[in-house]
């Protein structure tokens, strides 16, 4: 990946890829008196990979965002970009509209891939802006929630248990790391369409509770991703990815993350993960494949 801190001399942060090891989803909130109307309650075990997009910031005469990286072509710089929305929220909350910022984003993650790319980018921008704005933790959390349900957990960027609609984030310490391979068939899927189809199946009112004991792998095995069958119906290539991953030597578990189409597999060590990634990349050269680590180092 490009080392933008050296290239530009900027403050920088890694927007680590968000991985839902489990994702249990409840029925859409339809109560008009509920501030989260239109959202779905979730119960998810979340980890972060040891790589991601790269975000850099410096004070500037004007606020701007420049894009580079292998997936920058799939983005546009518009007022709806989450990084620029994050800046406007912080400027308003801290009464610092006169302060302007230049952001550079290296887009390494596929877009609309279920790895929280846009949310992680916005969360990284918020972390960088903390050096410029004196806000309470509660205010930072409110800004993160205003930007999106995944932004609070991405702002933490640590292994966590995520509940509510994403506003409740509990850090989980001491669970270590998993060796893994991430694969995306280079197909973007519509999160909105997946949730729409999910709602047609009349899910339970509340999501299945996440097991909160045992190792990271044991907790993962105990759960599932409720969106995976729906996403696979819309994008059959997800099933192809799961099958290809499950065929790799010593694969311990395979699953889709988020709303897809990225899937992951867990392996007992870095060597088997690297071998699996090489095998898949060779057999499927049009796919995005990455061997990595999930979680926190000891």
Query: 146 with 200, same domain?
Result: no
Query: 108 with 220, same domain?
Result: no
Query: 133 with 187, same domain?
Result: no
Q: Is there a contact between 151 and 89 (Cβ–Cβ < 8 Å)?
A: no
The conformational region for residue 148 under phi > 0 = left, psi -120 to 50 = alpha, else beta, is: left
Q: Is there a contact between 108 and 54 (Cβ–Cβ < 8 Å)?
A: yes
Query: 14 with 154, same domain?
Result: yes
Query: 35 with 123, same domain?
Result: yes
Query: 215 with 160, same domain?
Result: no
Structure tokens of 56? 């850099």
Domain end position, chosen among 148, 171, 194 = 171
Query: 162 with 184, same domain?
Result: no
* Domain extent at residue 75: 4-171
Eight-class DSSP state of 149: T
Domain end position, chosen among 143, 171, 199 = 171
Integer Rg of the chain from CA: 19
By C-alpha distance, which of 282, 284, 276 is closest to 179?
A: 276
Tell me, what's the pLDDT at 204? 83
pLDDT tens-place string over residues 223-281: 999 999 999 999 999 999 999 999 999 999 999 999 999 999 999 999 999 999 999 99
pLDDT at 110 over 80: yes
pLDDT tens-place string over residues 9-59: 469 999 999 999 999 999 999 999 999 999 999 999 999 999 999 999 999
pLDDT, averaged across the chain: 94
Query: 108 with 163, same domain?
Result: yes
Percent residues over pLDDT 70 in the chain: 96
The total of structural domains in the chain comes to 2
pLDDT at 79 over 90: no
The enclosing domain of 104 has a CATH number of: 3.30.230.10
By C-alpha distance, which of 144, 206, 138, 219 is closest to 178?
A: 219
What's the mean pLDDT in 108-117?
93
| Partner residues linked to 12 by β-bridges | 56
Q: Tell me the pTM.
A: 0.94
Query: 128 with 38, same domain?
Result: yes
Query: 235 with 217, same domain?
Result: yes
Tell me, what's the pLDDT at 298? 61
CB atoms closer than 10 angstroms to residue 148: 17
**What positions carry a catalytic annotation?**
18, 150
Domain end position, chosen among 171, 187, 219 = 171
Query: 124 with 19, same domain?
Result: yes
pLDDT at 2 over 70: no
Query: 200 with 262, same domain?
Result: yes
Measured in whole angstroms, the distance separating CA 143 from the mean position of its chain's CA atoms is: 17
Strands (E) in the chain, as ranges, are 11-20, 24-25, 42-59, 64-68, 101-106, 160-163, 168-171, 177-184, 253-256, 263-267, 288-295
Tell me, what's the pLDDT at 4? 40
The total number of residues shown for the chain amounts to 298
């Amino acid at each position: 990946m490009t080392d933008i801190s050296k290239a530009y001399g900027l403050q920088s942060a890694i927007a680590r890829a968000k991985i839902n090891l489990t994702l249990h989803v409840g029925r859409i909130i339809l109560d008009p008196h509920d501030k989260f109307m239109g959202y779905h309650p979730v119960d998810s075990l979340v980890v972060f990979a040891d790589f991601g997009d790269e975000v850099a910031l410096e004070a500037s005469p004007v606020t701007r965002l420049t894009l580079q990286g292998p997936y920058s072509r799939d983005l546009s710089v518009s007022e709806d970009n989450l990084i620029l929305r994050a800046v406007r929220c912080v400027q308003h909350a801290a009464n610092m509209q006169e302060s302007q910022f230049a952001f550079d984003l290296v887009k390494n993650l596929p877009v609309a891939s279920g790895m929280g790319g846009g949310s992680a980018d916005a969360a990284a921008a918020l972390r960088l802006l903390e050096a410029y704005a004196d806000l309470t933790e509660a205010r930072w959390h409110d800004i993160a929630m205003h930007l999106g349900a995944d932004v609070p957990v991405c702002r933490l960027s640590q292994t966590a248990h995520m509940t509510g609609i994403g506003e409740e984030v509990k850090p989980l310490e001491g669970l270590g790391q998993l060796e893994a391979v991430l694969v995306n068939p280079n197909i973007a899927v519509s999160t909105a369409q997946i949730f729409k189809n999910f709602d047609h199946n009349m899910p339970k009112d509340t999501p299945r509770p996440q097991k909160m004991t045992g190792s990271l792998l044991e907790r993962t095995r105990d759960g599932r991703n409720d969106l995976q069958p729906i996403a696979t119906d819309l994008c059959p290539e997800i099933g192809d990815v799961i099958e290809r991953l499950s065929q790799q030597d010593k694969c311990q578990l395979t699953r889709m993350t988020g709303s897809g189409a990225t899937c992951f597999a867990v392996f007992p060590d870095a060597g088997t993960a690297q071998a699996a990634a090489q095998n898949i990349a060779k057999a499927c050269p049009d796919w995005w494949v990455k061997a990595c680590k999930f979680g926190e180092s000891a």
